[in-house]
Structure 1
C-alpha cells in the first residue's frame, strides 16, 4: 500500500508541485490549505509523514505540530519555512518536528528527507512489536538500553524519550567514547546520506535528550560535547 504524505501548505502552486512529485515517487498525497484542515486530516487519516508549513491561515504550523504531538501521534513532521530566523526553526524542533527545510528547496533534497523519515519510522514500528528482551540489553553503568523494546533506562527507571531521542541515545551509547560530528549524526541517526547542510536539529535533539537523561543538563555526564568536534557518550 502506498505511503500517505499530508501536505499542509497555503500556497497552491507549492502544493501542486509537491503533490505531483510525491505521486510520481509512488506516494499518496493528501492536501490541506490551512492549519485547522491540516490538523483534522493528520488526526483522521493518520498519514505516514507530514510536510507542514509554518505560516498558515486559521492555525499556524507551530500550533498544528504541538496539537499533533499532544494527541500522542509520532508521525514524522518536516516543517517547511521561508524564514531564516534560527529561533523559528529551533521552536519547531522543540515542539516535536523531526526536521525542517527552508524555501526555496530542491525537490531532490525534500524527497530524500521524506524517504529517510518514512524508512526510520517504519524501522521503529517493526521494533515496537518485538517480544520482551532476554539478555538483549546494552548496559552502560547507570544507563541501559533494550534494543528490542526500544526503551532506555536510567538507574533502572524507564526514560520518557521520543523516537528520535531514543535513536540518538542508542547510537551514541553503542559507540561509547567515540566522537561523532553533527554531520555524522545526521547520516546515522536522521538517515540523511551524505548530509551537507544545516545541522542545528542535532543540537536541539541533544539538548532535549540531556534534559531527560542528565542529573544536571547544564553539566552533562553522559552525552558530552567535544568542542569543535561533536558529541560522544561517556560510559
Structure 2
C-alpha cells in the first residue's frame, strides 16, 4: 500500500539552534520540513512552493514575520500559518492574528504543545479540495437567508456576490452556518475553530467575528451575525429576537 505523502512544513526561523531542534522533532513525526533563516527567503519559498503549513518567527532579518504573513495572505488564503515567537504581549498576539495568522504560540514553548497545534492546523486543511484526492464528492451547501456556503468548492456568497474569506474566517462562518440561531460562546468558538479547549487569554474570537462581520454584513440591510452580551455570538436575522 502506498504511504500518504508527508505534509510539507516551511519553518522561517533565524535562530539555527531552534530551527534544528524543531526540524528534527517534526521530521521524526513524519513531516517534511524546509527551513528559511530570514524573512525574505521565507517569503520567496512560501510563494514559489506548496506548503501545508508555515511556522513563522516575527523578529526576522530582512522582513519581519508579520509582513511576511500579510504578503503571503495576499496570494494564498488557504495555507495554515502559525506564529512561533518570543513576543508574547496581548498587543503582539492581536497583531499576529490581525495579519491573518491561524495560530500563535509564544516562546519558550513545549514541543508537545507545538506539535499538537500543528496537527490541529493540518487536520483543518485536510478537507480542502486541493489536498483531498477523492475522485467524486457530493456538494454540501449551507444556506441561511441569502448567505450561501459551498463546502466542496469553498465558495461563499452573500446576496449572490462572492465573498473572499481567509481559512480561519471560513471555518468560523461554517461553524455559524452549522449552528444557525444557536448562541455560540467564545469557548465554543475557540474549541471548534482553533482546536483549543482553554482560554487563550486574548480577544482573538472577537477580532475574527469582527472581520467576518465586515465581509458578510457590510452594506447589507439585514445583519446576520449578532452579539449576545455576556454570552457570545449568534447567526440569525435581525427580526428574530425572542424578547
Alignment TM class, shorter chain as reference: 0.7 to 0.9
Aligned-residue offset at 1:196: 4.3
* Greater displacement, 122-131 / 55-64: 122-131
The one of 103, 118, 125 equivalent to 1:121 is: 125
Q: Distance in 2 between matches of 1:130 and 1:102?
A: 41
* Greater displacement, 94-103 / 49-58: 94-103
Aligned-partner SS, 2:153: coil
Q: Distance in 2 between matches of 1:45 and 1:137?
A: 31
Aligned-residue offset at 1:21: 1.2
Asked if the contact 2:58–2:85 (Cα under 8 Å) also holds between the matched residues in 1, the reply is yes
What is aligned with 2:61? 57
Q: Distance in 1 between matches of 2:95 and 2:35?
A: 24
Alpha carbon RMSD of aligned pairs, Å? 2.5
Asked if the contact 1:151–1:166 (Cα under 8 Å) also holds between the matched residues in 2, the reply is no
Aligned-residue offset at 1:29: 1.5
Q: Do structure 1's residue 229 and structure 2's residue 231 form an aligned pair? A: yes
Q: Structure 2 unaligned runs (5+)?
A: 238-243
Q: Deviations over 1:21-66 (max 9, x none)?
A: 1111111111111111111222233221111000011111011112
Change (3 A) 1:121 1:161: same
The one of 136, 146, 165 equivalent to 1:161 is: 165
The one of 58, 73, 77 equivalent to 1:69 is: 73
- Superposition map of 1:27-176 within 5 A: 27-72=31-76, 74-125=78-129, 126=132, 133=139, 136-176=140-180
TM-score by length of 1: 0.87
Q: Structure 1 unaligned runs (5+)?
A: none
Aligned-residue offset at 1:129: 8.4
The one of 205, 209, 212 equivalent to 2:208 is: 205
